[in-house]
Amino acid sequence: MERPFFSCKSKGRLTVATTNTERLNRFYEQFAGSDNVLIVINADPDAIASAMAVKRLLWRRVASITISNINVITRPDNMAMVRLLNVPLMHISKVDTGQYKKFIIIDSQPGHSELFPAIDYTAIIDHHPDEHISAPYSDVRPEYGATASMMTEYLRAAKIKPSAKLATGLFYAIKTDTADFERKAVSEDMRAFQFLFKHANIHLARKIEQVDFRLDFLNDFKKAINEYVLKKNKIFVYLGPVKNPDICVLLADFFMRFNLVSWSVVSGICDGKLVIVVRNDGSGRNAGLLISNEFGKFGSAGGHRSMARAESSLDLLQPHIDFKNEGKILKWLIKKFEKPSARGGKPKKTGITSGS
C-alpha cells in the first residue's frame, strides 16, 4: 500500500511528492489570526494526541482553538490519557458551531460518522482510506500506521519541540494504532516514534497504557473473586446485574492470566440479557462453536476458537433458569460447558464475531 515517492506520470506531468515543509506551509495558509478554530475528533488515543498536535501547531497563529469529541469517552485508558495529559475536550453536544470560522477533522474523515457536524471542513488530516472529500486542505495518507506520525512530521517541519505531554500522547497514539508495530506501519511511523521517544515521559505513557479498569469495577472484581467456581481448569463467574458488560470481558481476560486456568466463563445481566463471555487457551472445544450451539437459540452467540460471547434474552431463558437463585444460574451455566463434546454442526453466524 505504500505510495511511490515519485508518481511518475499524472496527466503527463511529473509530480514530485510533497515535502513536510510544503505541507506545513499549505496548512498554515488556511488560517488567519482572527480565526476561531474547531477541531473535531472521534476520540481515541491517536485522535486525541493528533488534535493536541494541531492545537500546538496553531498556537498563537489563530484566535482560539477548541477540541471537540463526537463520542463519549468510556475506555479507562482513554480517560486516563485525557486526565494525565490535561487535554481540554468539549463534547460536540455543547459546541455551537456558529461560533467558529474554521473546522478541522483529524484522524477521521467526515463520512466516518454521522455524529460529525455537517459543515465544510477547512482541513482533513487522516490515515484511513481516502474518501476523497474535497477540502481547502486535505492530507490523507492511508499507508501510515497512525495520524500521530503525520502530526510528528508537521511539528518537526515547524521546528517545534513537543512538550513532554504532547510527545507522550503522540508516542502512546503510535503504540496503540500500530499495536506496538505488530499492525500496519511504515518506516515514517518508526521514525516518528524514535523522535518522540526522546521527548516523551515513558512513565506517564506506561501508566496510561496500564489503565484497564475504573474504580467502580472493584465491586464486580470483589464478587468474582469471592464467588468464582473452578472446575477442571475452568473458571465460572456469575456477576448478577452489571452496569456495563465490558466488565465480563475484563474479568474473563483477567482470569486467563492465572496458571492452571484454561477456560474462563464470565457472565452478567445487562439490558434484559444474560451476557456470557468466554476465553480459553485454545485447548479443548472450540468456544465459538460451543457457545453458538448452546446459546444460539436464546439470542446472538458466536465467536472464535478461544474468544466467544453470547447475549441471551432473559425472556427466552426464563423457562430454563430461576433468576432468583444465583447458585442455580451458575450451575446451569457450568452444565452447558461440561457436556463431553460439541454436537457438531456449523456455528450459526449470529452477529457477534469478535467475542470482545
In the complex with Mn ion, which residue's Cβ is closer, 138 or 306? 138
Interaxial angle between packed helices 164-177 and 45-58, expressed in degrees from 0 to 180 and rounded to the nearest 10: 140
Q: With CB under 5 A as the contact rule, which of the stretches 14-22, 42-50, 306-314, 327-335 interacts with Mn ion?
A: 42-50
The DSSP result for 109-147, as a single string, is -GGG-TTS--S--SEEEE-SPP-----SEEEE-TTSS-H
Q: Whole-number minimum distance, CB 170 to Mn ion, in Å?
A: 11
**Applying CB under 5 A, which of residues 35, 153, 177, 189 lies at the interface with Mn ion?**
177
Beta bridge partners of 235: 230, 264
- Alpha carbon distances (Å) from 38 to 43, 68, 225: 14, 7, 46
Least Å from the CB of residue 147 to Mn ion: 5
Q: Which residue number, 43 or 235, has a Cβ lying nearer to Mn ion?
A: 43
Residue 200 DSSP code: S
Task: State the Cα–Cα distance between residues 76 and 213, nearest whole angstrom.
Answer: 6
Q: Which is nearer to Mn ion, 155 or 247 (CB)?
A: 155
Using the rule CB under 5 A, is 46 a contact of Mn ion? Answer: yes
The C-alpha atoms of residue 322 and residue 43 are separated, in whole angstroms, by 42
Q: Which is nearer to Mn ion, 46 or 246 (CB)?
A: 46
How far CA 181 is from CA of 52, 154, 329, in Å, comes to: 22, 21, 43
* 123-126 vs 137-140, strand pairing mode: parallel
102 or 175, CB closer to Mn ion? 175
- Residue 126 touches Mn ion, criterion: CB under 5 A: no
- Name the residue nearer to Mn ion (CB basis): 42 or 264: 42
Query: In angstroms, rounded to a whole number, what is the distance separating the alpha carbons of residues 64 and 80?
Result: 25
Stretch that binds Mn ion, among 100-108, 295-303, 320-328, 348-356 (CB under 5 A): 100-108
Binding pattern for the stretch 105-124 against Mn ion, x by CB under 5 A and - elsewhere: --x-----------------
Sole window of 41-49, 79-87, 230-238, 326-334 interacting with Mn ion (rule: CB under 5 A): 41-49
CB 245 within 8 A of CB 272: no
CA distances from 301 to 286, 298, 312, 332 (A): 13, 8, 8, 17
Q: Which stretch binds Mn ion (CB under 5 A): 53-61, 172-180, 187-195, 276-284?
A: 172-180
Contact flag: residue 139 with Mn ion (CB under 5 A)? no
* Nearest distance from C-beta of residue 127 to Mn ion, angstroms: 6
Distance CA 170, CA 44 (A): 12
The distance of closest approach from Cβ of residue 177 to Mn ion in the complex, given in angstroms and rounded to an integer, is 5
Q: Which positions from 147 to 166 touch Mn ion by CB under 5 A, shown as an x/- string? A: x-------------------
Which residue lies nearest Mn ion, judged by its C-beta? 46
Site for Mn ion, rule CB under 5 A: 46, 107, 147, 177
